[in-house]
């Protein structure tokens, strides 16, 4: 409440300032007021959600932990309602394009927070929401303060660990089995943060003996509280008569979550139907491509009669073309170099090739999950760079290395570098920080825009001649597309159509050419997330639709580079809002 009153006073001051400066136009004054509103709002938001503050590198409120009881939920709803009221009182029509987008982002974000707390109520059934360790990792490792101060903050933060986990367990009414299992796994893994390297840092720190003792005590209490939480969850799993909530959220909640998370005018049903139709289209294309490649790899050997077998056989053959584990890193580094050159030569971006983006071996603590990823510094953190992390395959067991290399063979690994690095995630992230200039876009990001962009660039690069229109690349891209489409189908099948695990496994392995291990992993992901798997294809469709509309609007003035530059200049905003601005 106090921060709200302060915000009100602050806004009034800004209004008076606007009046006294006569040269200011109406828009400037609306924008100035809004900028002040945005700052105050964001600061209050981080105070309300201190864990989110940590993830965004804000550097403030790290000592606080919100006890996850029913009060916290009510308090959050009240917070959102008050800020929505305050937002609605701003002069929307007087705002600049960028601030109109910001207005809409804040509105959707707050409405979404209310929906999660009041309708979705995942705090009652998703046990994996409760985990103190991730926040602690960043409290210790972010460069927002000297080490001694960070350790003092950590000590304060951990004071409420016991109350935190007790409240969390009480809040869980009828959890799902899948999220309990995930929570156990992640909380057990998180305990490593309180291990030897932390105790070593405490030893060499400048903390007084009393401070050190208190911190060590707080750490021990936290470890104990986490272990108790894990043990309580394990008891539920062991209870034969326990009635778990189904992980399937059902059609109604899925539709609502789809709207809030993706911010799109498409309905899930529309996206699903398109995905099913596209899957058939790509499948037919792959059949023709595989047929055309047959002679090159198998000579006169008769083609398999079964279309599935034909495609799979050619894919398997192509997969054998891959780097050695010790050369994988160099091969992907070389992609990035060539990709940067290509996008400028082909006039696809104004990209400043000197802009820092580092290719590096993936830090050990991230290793083993994905073969490569894009890593950004938190939005508020000033220091730091954009990384294309590549896992060190020489550390993999031999068999795992071989299967990973077949999956990310000479063709698929190029698409991986496009998706993760240039012009996919890393490049988009750089534009986001450099061009949009508004921290709001970097903290309230839209997953459909981000993932849609990355998959959009795969096809766009091939259309513009990357890979020299080779049949191998086309077939490999087809397999990637099937995976993107299967993501939508699996998500909807499981949550809305009640389909069985068996049918999902069959879809993945038989029809989308995934290995059994990949299919198992994807199924698991679909049971602990909802809608996220739809973000790739939904975003992709929206970007392509917008590109067509923009081309029509610009007529002879249209260029692909202009579309890309303009589109990326709005940061990671929902495509729906970018569209409104680009077509206006």
- Positions touching Zn ion (CB under 5 A) are 451, 454
Cα–Cα distance measured from residue 575 to residue 233, given in angstroms and rounded to the nearest whole number: 40
The DSSP code for 363 is: P
Q: Which is nearer to Zn ion, 193 or 415 (CB)?
A: 415
C-beta of 318 vs 454, nearer to Zn ion: 454
Compute the distance between CA of residue 538 and CA of residue 546 in angstroms, rounded to an integer.
Answer: 12
Handedness of CA 66, 71, 74, 80 (dihedral sign): negative
CA distance 130 to 115: 19
Question: E-assigned strands of 290-357?
Answer: none
Position closest to Zn ion via CB: 454
113 vs 451, which CB is nearer to Zn ion?
Answer: 451
Shortest Cβ distance from residue 323 to Zn ion (Å)? 9
Q: Quick one: 451 or 491, whose CB is closer to Zn ion?
A: 451
44/87 Cα distance (integer angstroms): 13
Least Å from the CB of residue 306 to Zn ion: 25
Q: CB of 327: closest distance to Zn ion in angstroms?
A: 12
Q: What's the closest the beta carbon of residue 322 comes to Zn ion, in angstroms?
A: 6
In sequence order, what are the residues at sequence separation of 6 or more whose Cβ sits closer than 8 angstroms to the Cβ of residue 454?
A: 419, 420, 424, 425, 428, 536
Closest distance of CB 518 from Zn ion, Å:
16
**DSSP 3-state of 387:** strand
For residues 262 and 496, which CB has a smaller minimum distance to Zn ion in the complex? 262
Count of Cβ atoms closer than 10 Å to residue 81 Cβ: 14
Q: What is the strand order of the sheet 387-390 is part of? A: 358-361, 387-390, 372-375
Q: Which helix (DSSP H) or strand (DSSP E) does residue 372 occupy?
A: strand 372-375
CB atoms within 10 A of CB 34: 26
How many angstroms separate the Cα of 311 from the Cα of each of 18, 308, 409? 66, 5, 16
Side-chain-facing half-sphere of 6: CA atoms under 13 Å: 8
CB of 454 to Zn ion, least distance (A): 4
Judged by CB, which is closer to Zn ion: 261, or 451? 451
Name the residue nearer to Zn ion (CB basis): 207 or 454: 454
Query: Which one, 183 or 432, has the nearer CB to Zn ion?
Result: 432
Q: Nearest approach, Cβ of 427 to Zn ion (angstroms)? A: 12
Report the nearest approach of Zn ion to the CB of residue 386 (Å).
Answer: 14
If the CB atoms of residues 164 and 567 are measured against Zn ion, the closer one turns out to be: 567
- The sign one gets for the Cα dihedral 329, 335, 340, 341 is positive
DSSP H helical ranges for 366-434? 398-407, 412-420, 425-434
Neighbour tally for 135: CB within 10 Å: 21
Shortest distance, position 536 Cβ to Zn ion, whole Å: 7
């Amino acid at each position: 409440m106090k921060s709200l009153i302060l915000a009100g006073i602050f806004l009034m001051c800004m209004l008076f300032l606007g009046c006294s400066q006569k040269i200011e136009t109406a828009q400037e004054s609306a924008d100035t007021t809004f900028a002040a509103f945005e700052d105050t709002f964001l600061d209050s938001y981080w105070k309300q959600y201190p864990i989110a503050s940590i993830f965004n590198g804000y550097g403030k409120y790290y000592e606080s932990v919100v006890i996850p009881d029913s009060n916290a939920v009510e308090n959050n709803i009240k917070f959102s309602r008050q800020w929505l009221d305050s937002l609605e009182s701003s002069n929307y029509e007087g705002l600049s394009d960028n601030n109109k987008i910001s207005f809409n982002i804040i509105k959707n974000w707050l409405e979404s927070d209310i929906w999660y707390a009041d309708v979705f109520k995942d705090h009652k059934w998703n046990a994996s929401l409760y985990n103190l360790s991730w926040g602690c990792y960043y409290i210790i490792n972010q460069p927002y303060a000297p080490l001694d101060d960070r350790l003092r903050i950590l000590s304060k933060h951990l004071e409420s660990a016991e109350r935190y986990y007790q409240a969390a367990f009480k809040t869980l009414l009828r959890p799902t089995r899948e999220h309990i299992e995930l929570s156990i796994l992640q909380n057990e893994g998180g305990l490593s943060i309180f291990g030897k390297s932390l105790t070593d840092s405490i030893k060499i720190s400048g903390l007084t003996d009393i401070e050190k003792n208190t911190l060590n005590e707080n750490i021990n209490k936290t470890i104990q509280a986490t272990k108790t939480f894990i043990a309580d969850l394990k008891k539920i799993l062991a209870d034969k008569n326990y009635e778990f909530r189904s992980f399937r959220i059902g059609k109604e909640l899925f539709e609502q979550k789809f709207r809030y998370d993706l911010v799109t005018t498409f309905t899930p049903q529309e996206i699903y139907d398109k995905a099913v139709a596209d899957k058939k289209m790509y499948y037919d294309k792959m059949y023709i491509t595989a047929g055309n490649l047959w002679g090159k790899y198998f000579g006169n050997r008769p083609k398999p009669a079964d279309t599935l077998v034909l495609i799979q056989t050619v894919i398997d053959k192509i997969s054998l073309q891959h780097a050695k584990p010790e050369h994988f890193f160099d091969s992907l580094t070389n992609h990035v170099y060539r990709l940067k050159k290509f996008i400028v030569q082909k006039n696809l971006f104004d990209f400043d090739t000197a802009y820092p983006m580092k290719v590096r071996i993936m830090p050990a603590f991230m290793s083993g999950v994905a073969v490569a990823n894009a890593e950004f510094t938190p939005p508020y953190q000033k220091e730091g760079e954009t990384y294309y992390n590549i896992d060190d395959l020489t550390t993999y067991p031999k068999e795992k290395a071989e299967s990973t290399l077949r999956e990310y063979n000479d063709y698929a690994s190029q698409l991986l570098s496009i998706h993760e690095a240039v012009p996919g995630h890393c490049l988009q992230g750089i534009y986001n920080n450099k061009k949009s200039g508004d921290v709001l876009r970097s903290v309230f990001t839209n997953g459909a825009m981000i993932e849609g962009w990355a998959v959009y660039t795969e096809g766009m690069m091939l259309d513009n001649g990357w890979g020299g229109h080779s049949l191998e690349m086309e077939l490999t891209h087809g397999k990637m597309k099937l995976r993107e489409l299967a993501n939508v189908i699996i998500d909807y099948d499981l949550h809305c159509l009640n389909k069985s695990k068996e049918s999902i496994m069959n879809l993945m392995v038989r029809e989308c050419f995934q290995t059994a291990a990949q299919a198992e992993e994807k199924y698991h992901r679909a049971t602990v997330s909802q809608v996220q798997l739809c973000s790739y294809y939904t975003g992709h469709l929206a970007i392509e639709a917008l590109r067509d509309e923009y081309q029509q609007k610009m007529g002879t003035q249209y260029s692909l580079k202009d579309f890309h530059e303009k589109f990326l200049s709005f940061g990671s905003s929902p495509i729906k809002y970018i569209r409104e601005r680009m077509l206006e």
